[in-house]
Structure 1
Amino acid sequence: MENVIIFDYDGVIADSKEIFMRYFLEGCRRYGVDITTEEEFLRLYEGNIYESMLSLGLSREKILSVVYYMRRGLLENKDRIRMFSGIGEIIKELSSHPLFIVTSNDTELVRNFLKSWHIDFFEDIIGSDREASKVKKIKSIMEKYPSSRYYFIGDTVGDIMEGRKAGVKTVAVTWGWHDEERLAKAKPDYMVKNPPELLTVFR
């Protein structure tokens, strides 16, 4: 049975938290959204980011205003975002499997980042500009590869919850946005502490 491996992007591949959070919180201040601290920001990712913001009573228009502001900041600072050490080599080693990215980020922004790092191993990248729900994005990949084993690699509680809801094995990485203690509460199927450990999951 074939392994289909689905990666999150921010916090798994790209070390983008500081820039992402800076412009997200700036966008919140600009558009009158009462999210002001790192902990409040990280708490949004204990579920789907868009659903978390809706649950705070925010309008779709206000959410999109914050998201677009944050994306402009990411685009303007794209050269400051680095890839986590060792993850590029691991992606290459896993490229004998079908690889995908499911992300809350923008598809083209992610595609251009990977191109700049000479990473060209993903069959598709599905960003929030194509679909907000990671559950739906994961299920769309499963339809392409029936009768396979599916894994979703994420760095937040929300990633683990959405992967489980989609019906795939979940792999939590501890080098991203949520720490090991927070991730453990989500009960992922696997917990890995560095990129080379990912290889042990798929052997």
Structure 2
Amino acid sequence: MIKAVIFDLDGTLLNTLNALSFCISKTMKHFGLKEIDIEHTRYFVGEGAKKFVDRALIYNGDTDLKLANEAYKVYDEIFAVDCLKDVKPYEGITKLLDSLKAMGIKSVVLSNKSQLGVEKNINEIFGAGVFDLIYGERAGIPKKPDPTSLNMIIEELGLSKPEILYVGDTATDMQTALRAGVTSIGVLWGFRDEEELRENKADYIINNPSEILEIIKER
């Protein structure tokens, strides 16, 4: 029986592409570099803010990342102000969360975004108390696809791995679930495509949030 669903944030719960593209583009413009469009943003994100900035700088020709340390600071300042620009839940997500709560199933967020960034996104868009746990990037804990944070969540919930579903939209998410030994659900409304999810051994691939409820009933 499933007792908790753990969600990735960007591309799974929230459509944050416009905000991410805006923030990284504004950062690049600060250094006189070209903006990062939506399609490049889609593939540059997923492994934390520093990796996102690094990829944008390399795309702009700074292959030695000479601007990296300053760019991290600039991005953090911009993101703190503009991280919610045009951000909204994907269609069906709010209804899904309501259904999970009514069923007594815990909802958790696990993201490579900073802890403060995750909390700001979640609390501003969904409100406080909707999720049982919120895990963002934390000092001393490796980021996904390392399974450490996912295993920490499972331990904190006091559940076993067969009682968990992990939901995400990227290879990073599928690898995280695989390494932790939990069932993975890849979503097609997010940042990446079906091929990437299949190549990274998603247990389920879905088109609509309501399909998660069907999977729960099956198990």
Normalised by the length of structure 2, the TM-score is 0.74
Q: Percent identity?
A: 22
CA deviation vs aligned residue, 1:106-156 (integer Å, no higher than 9, x gap): 334433443443463311111125545132211211222243422211111
The answer on whether the counterparts of 1:3 and 1:148 sit within 8 Å (CA) in structure 2 is no
Secondary structure at the aligned position of 1:152 is classed as strand
Output the CA distance in 2 between the equivalents of 1:32 and 1:137. Answer: 37
Map 1:1-203 onto structure 2 (within 5 A): 1-30=1-30, 36=36, 38-45=38-45, 48-49=47-48, 50=50, 53=54, 58=65, 61=69, 64-65=72-73, 67-69=75-77, 71-75=79-83, 78=84, 80-95=86-101, 96-116=104-124, 117-118=126-127, 120-129=129-138, 131=141, 133-134=143-144, 135-144=147-156, 145-149=158-162, 150-203=164-217
Question: Are the aligned partners of 2:92 and 2:210 in contact in 1 as well (CA < 8 Å)?
Answer: yes
- The higher radius of gyration belongs to 2
One-letter amino acid matched to 1:183: L
Quote how far apart the aligned CAs of 1:61 are. 2.8
Count, aligned residues: 200
Given that 2:188 and 2:207 are in contact with CA atoms closer than 8 Å, whether structure 1 keeps it comes out as yes
- Which of 1 and 2 has higher RCO (CA within 8 Å, sep 6+)? 1
Contact 1:152 1:170 in 2 (8 A): yes
* Residue pair 2:165, 2:184 contacting (<8 A) in 1 also: yes
Q: Distance in 2 between matches of 1:35 and 1:162?
A: 30
